[in-house]
Amino acid sequence: MDIFTRFNKKNIQDRQIDTLIGLSKGLIADGKVDQTEAEFLMGWLVQNRQSSENPIIVNLLEKVGSMLKDGVLDSEESAELMNILNTVSGESSEIGELAKTSSLPINEPMPPIVFENKSFLFTGTCAFGNRKQCQSATESLGGVNAKSVTKTLDYLVLGTYVTDSWAHETFGRKIEKAMEYRNSGIQLIIITEEHWANEGKFA
C-alpha cells in the first residue's frame, strides 16, 4: 500500500460508501434487482474490496457472492438483495446488523435436530452456501429436502440473511404458513441456519 493510500484510507472508504449508496439507489430504482444488476454490483464490490477493508463492503461482498455462487439469482435471493440495498441506500450503518434472527419466529429454545428421515426446507439466503449446497449437506446426514411448507414438514430453516422485515419479503409466506401449522399443534419446528449448521457439525 503506498503512502497516499495509507494516509487517506478513511477518505477513500468514505468515498466508496458514498458511491455504494448511490449505486444501491440506482439498482433498486425500478423496484427489483435482476441477475445482470447483481453481477454488476459483484464486480464493483470485488474491485473496491482490493483497496479497502471497509466492513460494509466486505460484508456485502460476502452476501452477494453467496447469492451468485451457483450462477443464478433466484427470486428469493433477488428479494433479499433488494432488501439489503434498501438498507444500504437508507442507513448504511445498519448493513452489519442484517444477519439477525432475534425477532424471527423460531422455536425457543431450539431443540436438538434429528436428521435421519426428517424433512427440511430452507428459506431466505444462507451463509453456508447456495440452496443446493445446503440440501446436499442435509442429505449427507440422512435428511430429506422438502419442496414446500406442508403439514408433514419437520424443519423450516431460516437463512442467516433473513432479516426482521421477513413478513414483507417473498419468502415471508413460507414462514407465515409454517407458523400457522405450528400454532395449530402440528410438530413443525422453525430454526435458524446457525442452529442447523451447528447441529449437523457443518459449521
Residue 35 has pLDDT above 50, yes or no: yes
Cα separation, 156 vs 101, whole angstroms: 14
- Kindly report which listed range (11-15, 19-23, 109-113) carries the lowest average pLDDT score: 11-15
Residue 118 has pLDDT above 90, yes or no: yes
Domain co-membership, 126 together with 89: no
Is 106 among the domain residues?
Answer: no
Domain co-membership, 84 together with 123: no
Top-confidence residue, 80 or 2: 80
Is 109 among the domain residues?
Answer: no
| Those residues with Cβ within 8 angstroms of residue 178's Cβ, 6 or more apart along the chain or in another chain | 105, 149, 153, 156, 188, 190
Residue 128 has pLDDT above 90, yes or no: no
| Local structure of residue 141 (DSSP, 8 states) | T
Residue 164 has pLDDT above 60, yes or no: no
pLDDT band at 143; cut points 50, 70, 90: very high
17 grid coordinates = 460508501
Domain co-membership, 17 together with 83: yes
Is 85 among the domain residues?
Answer: yes
Cα separation, 168 vs 31, whole angstroms: 14
pLDDT at res. 22 = 83
How much is the average pLDDT of 87-110?
Answer: 61
pLDDT at res. 135 = 94
Is 69 among the domain residues?
Answer: yes
The pTM is what? 0.56
Domain co-membership, 174 together with 133: yes
Domain co-membership, 73 together with 140: no
Residue 12 has pLDDT above 60, yes or no: no
Is 111 among the domain residues?
Answer: no
Is 20 among the domain residues?
Answer: yes
Domain co-membership, 76 together with 127: no
**Number of domains making up the chain:** 2
Domain co-membership, 92 together with 127: no
Portion of the chain with pLDDT greater than 90, in percent: 32
pLDDT at res. 102 = 42
- Kindly report which listed range (33-37, 67-71, 129-133, 175-179) carries the lowest average pLDDT score: 129-133
| Local structure of residue 189 (DSSP, 8 states) | E
| Cβ contact 158:123 at 8 Å | yes
Domain co-membership, 81 together with 161: no
Domain co-membership, 85 together with 133: no
pLDDT at res. 13 = 59
- Kindly report which listed range (96-100, 117-121, 126-130) carries the lowest average pLDDT score: 96-100
pLDDT at res. 189 = 96
Is 156 among the domain residues?
Answer: yes
How much is the average pLDDT of 81-94?
Answer: 69
Domain co-membership, 63 together with 123: no
Portion of the chain with pLDDT greater than 70, in percent: 77
Is 90 among the domain residues?
Answer: yes
Picking from 96, 127, 145, the residue at the C-terminal end of a domain is: 96
* 66-94: burial string, b at 16+ Cβ within 10 Å, e else: bbbeeeebeebbbbbbbbbbebbbeebee
pLDDT band at 90; cut points 50, 70, 90: low
Domain co-membership, 24 together with 79: yes
Which domain range does residue 10 map to? 3-96
| Those residues with Cβ within 8 angstroms of residue 94's Cβ, 6 or more apart along the chain or in another chain | 87
pLDDT at res. 95 = 42
Domain co-membership, 92 together with 123: no
CATH number at residue 134: 3.40.50.10190
Cα separation, 136 vs 142, whole angstroms: 10
